[in-house]
């Protein structure tokens, strides 16, 4: 729901990549846009780029 007129903002979609060996989630992406080229690009960028800034922003310690 949006805060101004209390209308639904859309349906969230989720995409996960799971490592086969460790069965850990490598990357996740949750857009409100339906699956397509844009969400695929964002998902791949999240999978490839360093996650140090994201981990620090959320207070997660680890490598």
Residue 8 included in any domain: no
Number of domains in the chain: 1
Residue range 9-29: average pLDDT?
88
Q: Where are the beta strands (DSSP E) in 1-63?
A: 15-18, 25-29
Looking at the domain assignment, is residue 30 inside a domain?
A: yes
Mean pLDDT, to the nearest integer, of 6-24? 87
Residue 7 lies in a domain: no
What mean pLDDT do residues 5-24 have? Answer: 86
28 confidence band (pLDDT: 50, 70, 90): confident
| 45 domain-assigned | yes
pLDDT, residue 11, reads 86
Residue 47 sits in which domain range?
A: 22-57
* Residue 29 to residue 13: CA distance in whole angstroms: 8
């Amino acid at each position: 729901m949006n805060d101004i007129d209390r209308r639904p903002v859309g349906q969230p979609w989720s995409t996960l990549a799971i490592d086969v060996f460790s069965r850990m989630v490598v990357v996740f992406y949750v857009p409100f846009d339906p699956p397509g080229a844009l969400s695929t690009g964002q998902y791949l960028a999240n999978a490839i780029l360093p996650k140090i800034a994201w981990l620090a922003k959320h207070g997660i310690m680890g490598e």
